[in-house]
């Protein structure tokens, strides 16, 4: 019975999700080049909410005490989010405009790669020695014109049951631009608030396999936990404070081991 229900959910959700992806691709290719940031931001936010609904995902924003909701942010800011799934990008975009930083490989994903590129994602080639320095200059430019940039400091996805080590390289532009650094915790549960495997996207799992698993799930709740801005004298200090605050908010243990895939990428960049 469970497999039959999953198949029925996929049959209902997949056509709508594909139509939204294709409509979004058409927008970023043909409409966005003629639109300014304010109109683009409104379209991206509305489209992201529709995509979440089509995939059976309900987003809840639960700001920590003393923190602002993402939609209330004004001016430039650097958002630091833990990374669980490719859908993280659209969960955050449904609440606030932001330019995400992503690995260059994502730009080659079918449809989704073109979409995230079209909404202003900043890609980094991790195997190029000067890539991070050049990316930091681009991030700083965005922050100085009052745009928001979102970074996944873990550098890769986790299983959502722990926080991986935070890498501080991309925090430097926020220090130079003098903008706040805001941690944003992400957690996915089922409709009863229990942990769910529907958002698992680790190891060698493909985008297609991840989407199939998500569409077949009974339903997913995406929790967004904006925290108060963190400060520090150095980027490493800020990264550590953001990680500690996020671990406390999400009640997650901290894992300081670097995943093998990220270890190889870092080794290639240093070669």
How far apart CA 201 and CA 27 sit, in angstroms, is: 27
Q: What's the whole-number mean pLDDT along residues 213-218?
A: 95
Q: In the predicted model, what is the mean pLDDT of residues 62-91?
A: 96
What predicted TM-score, i.e. pTM, was given to this entire model? 0.91
Residue 269 is predicted with a pLDDT of 47
**What is d(CA 86, CA 199) in angstroms, rounded to the nearest whole number?**
9
Nearest residue to 90 via CA among 9, 181, 186, 15: 186
Give tens-digit pLDDT for 7-59.
999 999 999 999 999 999 999 999 999 999 999 999 999 999 999 999 999 99
| Domain residue spans of the chain | 2-266
pLDDT of residue 19: 95
Per-residue exposure over 86-118, b if at least 16 CB sit within 10 Å of its own CB, e if not: bbbbbbbbbbbbbbbbbbeebeebeebbbbbbb
123-168 pLDDT per residue, tens:
887 777 688 889 999 999 999 999 999 999 999 999 999 999 999 9
- Provide the pLDDT for residue 115: 86
Give the pLDDT score at 199.
96
109 pLDDT tier (thresholds 50, 70, 90): confident
Residue 111's pLDDT band (boundaries 50, 70, 90)?
Answer: confident
Residue 256: pLDDT band with limits 50, 70, 90: confident
Confidence of residue 104 (pLDDT cuts 50, 70, 90): confident
pLDDT tens profile 174-200: 999 999 999 999 999 999 999 999 999
Q: Which pLDDT does position 271 carry in this prediction?
A: 45
257 versus 24: the higher-pLDDT residue is 24
- For the cut 60, the answer to whether the pLDDT of residue 82 exceeds it is yes
With helix as H, strand as E and coil as C, how does 84-134 read?
Answer: CCCCHHHHHHCCCCCEEEEEHHHHHCCCHHHHHHHCCCEEECCCCCCHHHH
Contact between residue 83 and residue 154 where contact means Cβ atoms under 8 Å apart: yes
Supply the pLDDT for residue 255. Answer: 83
Task: Output DSSP code: residue 224.
Answer: E
Average pLDDT across the chain, whole number: 91
Predicted confidence (pLDDT) per residue in 231-250, tens digit? 999 999 999 999 999 999 99
Average pLDDT over residues 109-126: 84
3-state helix, strand, coil in the chain (%, to 5): 50, 15, 35
Interatomic CA distance for residues 43 and 39, integer angstroms: 6
Q: Average pLDDT in the 100-110 region?
A: 85
């Amino acid at each position: 019975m469970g497999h039959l229900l999953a198949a029925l959910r996929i049959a209902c959700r997949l056509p709508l999700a594909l139509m939204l992806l294709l409509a979004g691709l058409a927008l970023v290719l043909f409409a966005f080049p003629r639109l300014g940031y304010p109109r683009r931001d409104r379209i991206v936010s509305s489209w992201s909410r529709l995509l979440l609904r089509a995939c059976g995902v309900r987003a809840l924003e639960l700001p920590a005490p003393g923190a602002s909701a993402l939609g209330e942010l004004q001016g430039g800011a650097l958002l630091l989010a833990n990374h669980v799934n490719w859908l993280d990008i659209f969960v955050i975009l449904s609440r606030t405009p932001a330019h995400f930083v992503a690995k260059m490989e994502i730009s080659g994903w079918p449809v989704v790669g073109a979409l995230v590129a079209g909404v202003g994602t900043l890609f980094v080639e991790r195997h190029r020695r000067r890539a991070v320095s050049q990316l930091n200059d681009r991030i700083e430019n965005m922050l100085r014109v009052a745009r928001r940039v979102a970074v996944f400091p873990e550098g890769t996805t986790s299983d959502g049951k722990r926080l991986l080590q935070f890498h501080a390289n991309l925090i430097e532009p926020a220090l130079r631009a003098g903008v706040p650094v805001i941690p944003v915790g992400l957690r996915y549960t089922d409709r009863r608030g229990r942990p769910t495997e529907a958002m698992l996207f680790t190891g060698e799992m493909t985008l297609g396999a991840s989407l199939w698993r998500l569409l077949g799930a009974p339903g997913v709740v995406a929790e967004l936990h904006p925290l108060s801005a963190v400060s520090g004298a150095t980027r490493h200090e800020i990264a550590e404070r953001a990680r500690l605050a996020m671990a406390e908010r999400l009640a997650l243990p901290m894992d300081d081991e670097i995943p093998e895939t990220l270890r190889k990428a870092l080794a290639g960049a240093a070669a």
